[in-house]
Structure 1
Amino acid sequence: MSKLLVDQSNEEVVTRVLTIDLDNFVEIAKALSTDLRVAIFKKLLERPMNVVEIAEMFNIPPSTAAVNIKKLEDANLIRTEMVPGTRGTQKICAAVFSRIIVETNAAEQAKHNDFIEISMPIGHFFDFQVSPTCGILSDSKIIGELDDPSSFLEPERTNAQLIWFRHGFVEYRFPNRLPHGAKVNNLELLTEICSEAPLHNPNWPSDITLWINGIEVGTWTCPGDFGGERGVLTPSWWSEANTQFGLLKTWRVTDQGSFIDGRPISDVTLDDLSIDQAPFITVRIGVKPDAVNDGGINLFGRKFGNYETDLVMRLGFVR
């Protein structure tokens, strides 16, 4: 179980607390069992760094740095993501938690916590409003016509594995499976996304916004549209000159505010979303007409890109 606590005296100071029981402490202890990994973790608490920077800082080979980073990542102490660099892509590492608390009664508390996970295929949108450039692909062909918004009405859209548009949004309705009498304490949305440039362009920023139940949760600026090398899952018929993969992002709303990959993006809380007021939860993702960086969006399904995932919602709750 983890908690996100905001220091109210300074809006920019965010303490990310991991609270675990003794039974689950073993993996954390193994990850921090060497002086080198402890030192790397301390540096990542100060700022995100790439693997080469870490290797140079500690005077170790990049391969050694990568192995130790993987240990910290497996223990969920840090997050990593691939972003464009001066030569290809680079792995950026960032600390997730800045405080670890071991509680002897955490196991008993965990019995009263649960979560629901719902996977939504990207083609199952309930509403949309898009403008060119735009298009939809299945894992085997183009659906409808490129740059024609009416293609988003095609029945085959439910087979979509890649959706893109320059402005506008797609909106989904997730079933609200929260048990009667339960209180939601965490909402997460997992997405693989990137900007939308002609063909691809790693330096093409786009302000991508998320709304939940009609409330604007926040905006994340994607650095670019990634191609030039085939995505892990991208089918061979789709040219490498086109968009190939995105970045895996976790949007989270809690009682303390809204975050993306652990970083604050707004003061919107779960109370603002009125989760228990309807049998469904609406999720809208898109690029606003007045976005400063209007670089569009690519949204990936489980058979395109680098991650085998649809849109995934997780609802944490207590009974």
Structure 2
Amino acid sequence: MLQVGMNEPEKLVKVAHALSTRARVDILRLLNARSMNVIEIAEALSLPVSTVANNVKILEAAELINTELLPAVRGAMKVCTRSYDDVHMILNTTFRGSQDGKQVYEIDMPIGQYSYCEVYPTCGMASAEAMIIQEDEPASFYHPNHIGAGIIWFRKGYVEYLLPLEIPEGSKVDSIEFSMEICSEAPNFDHDWPSDISVWVNGVEIGMWTSPGDFGDRKGRFNSNWWAQQTTTQYGLLKTWRVDAERTTLDMKKVSDVTLADLKLEQRPSVRLRIGVKADALHKGGINLFGRSFGDYEQDIVMKVHYTSAEL
């Protein structure tokens, strides 16, 4: 999800402008299904190639799509891929450090820094340079080298992280959210490979998302050349779970009735986050979890805690 607000006025203007015409919205709609080159888009929308090319530049400047020049029969062709599933525009100024005491505590947890796991083949992990454990050997997940992982995959099981909760004593938590790039785990890759991926916080399952597939039709934006040469997973989708006083949402849509009260955040100095596929899941399609050096998003697991300071 792309989140942009008043604290980034220039970026907000670019995104709003990019979404202001039907043609550009139609381009984003087409890219929902697959990556397309400029000529394919022009043919699908019955628009001149020059018009599509200009609109693609505007969408790219707003970071709503990614483009890549690939060899073609005559010269090169520009292939377009949509960057985000959702755009969230924040039009208030009470997001961070405001006068009403609202604050945001944020931490980026490297995906290799899990505290515990239970995984089953196929499974493995790699850094930007090479494989770092023996593939399809669950015992290797306990090797100290796991802290350097940039991508982790397993067919079933889970990984669990302990994230510090360093907010002032007595503060009131308004919401907590977790953002990560993730997809299914298929042999090589398969865009039609559903997987029921669950997320738990402090032992409470907050929601399940059915990943549609394992994506490998193109190079991920941040993949090294070594990984890009592999005929395997290349990128995932950015998903954000958020728990507040009323419900849990996934990308702003309700997924469960779990609330902050269920998580008992005030009773501990850390947050226990588990990501996995349950043994009784309908679709046991596995997990690929991406760090900042893999996939389309330059981030690891991001936790944001919105809270009101006890001092105000």
Q: TM-score range by the shorter chain?
A: 0.7 to 0.9
1:250-265 superposed matches below 5 A:
250-265=240-255
Q: Does 1:234 align with 2:223?
A: yes
TM (normalized to structure 2)?
0.76
| Closer/same/farther in 2, CA of residues 89 and 148 from structure 1, 3 Å limit | farther
Q: Does 1:291 align with 2:274?
A: no
Find the aligned partners of 1:270 and 1:253 in 2 and give their Cα distance: 6
- CA deviation map 1:187-241 (0-9, x unaligned): 1111111110001111111111111111111011111111143222222223330
TM (normalized to structure 1)?
0.74
Which of 69, 76, 82 is the aligned partner of 1:91? 82
Find the aligned partners of 1:179 and 1:278 in 2 and give their Cα distance: 13
CA contact (8 A) 1:136 1:160 kept: yes
Quote the offset at 1:183 in angstroms: 0.8
- CA deviation map 1:107-137 (0-9, x unaligned): 9955511111111111111111111001121
Q: Which residue of structure 1 aligns with residue 272 of structure 2? A: 282
SS at match of 2:234: strand
Q: Which residue of structure 2 aligns with residue 119 of structure 1? A: 108
Quote the offset at 1:142 in angstroms: 1.8
Which of 267, 270, 294 is the aligned partner of 2:257? 267
Q: Does 1:133 align with 2:116?
A: no
Q: Which residue of structure 2 aligns with residue 177 of structure 1? A: 166
CA contact (8 A) 1:50 1:91 kept: no
Q: Which residue of structure 1 aligns with residue 201 of structure 2? A: 212
| Closer/same/farther in 2, CA of residues 199 and 32 from structure 1, 3 Å limit | closer
1:29-48 superposed matches below 5 A:
37=20
Q: Which residue of structure 1 aligns with residue 186 of structure 2? A: 197
CA contact (8 A) 1:49 1:92 kept: no
Quote the offset at 1:275 in angstroms: 1.0
Quote the offset at 1:66 in angstroms: 3.9
Counterpart AA for 1:307: Y
Find the aligned partners of 1:81 and 1:287 in 2 and give their Cα distance: 30
Higher mean displacement: 137-146 or 123-132: 137-146
Q: Which residue of structure 2 aligns with residue 314 of structure 1? A: 304
Which of 29, 48, 52 is the aligned partner of 1:49? 29
Counterpart AA for 2:209: W
| Closer/same/farther in 2, CA of residues 252 and 50 from structure 1, 3 Å limit | farther
Counterpart AA for 1:152: F
After superposition, the CA RMSD in angstroms is 3.6
Find the aligned partners of 2:217 and 2:45 in 1 and give their Cα distance: 30
SS at match of 1:291: coil
Quote the offset at 1:30 in angstroms: 7.5
Counterpart AA for 1:217: I
Find the aligned partners of 1:309 and 1:223 in 2 and give their Cα distance: 21
Q: Which residue of structure 1 aligns with residue 76 of structure 2? A: none
Quote the offset at 1:273 in angstroms: 1.0
SS at match of 1:164: strand
Quote the offset at 1:149 in angstroms: 0.3
1:147-162 superposed matches below 5 A:
147-162=136-151
CA contact (8 A) 2:117 2:159 kept: yes
Find the aligned partners of 1:147 and 1:302 in 2 and give their Cα distance: 23
SS at match of 1:243: coil
| Closer/same/farther in 2, CA of residues 257 and 62 from structure 1, 3 Å limit | farther
SS at match of 2:281: coil
| Closer/same/farther in 2, CA of residues 113 and 149 from structure 1, 3 Å limit | same
Quote the offset at 1:31 in angstroms: 5.8
Find the aligned partners of 1:70 and 1:138 in 2 and give their Cα distance: 28
Find the aligned partners of 2:247 and 2:159 in 1 and give their Cα distance: 24
Q: Does 1:143 align with 2:123?
A: no
Counterpart AA for 2:171: A
Higher mean displacement: 155-164 or 88-97: 88-97
SS at match of 2:226: coil
Segments of 5+ residues of structure 1 without an aligned counterpart are 1-17, 83-87
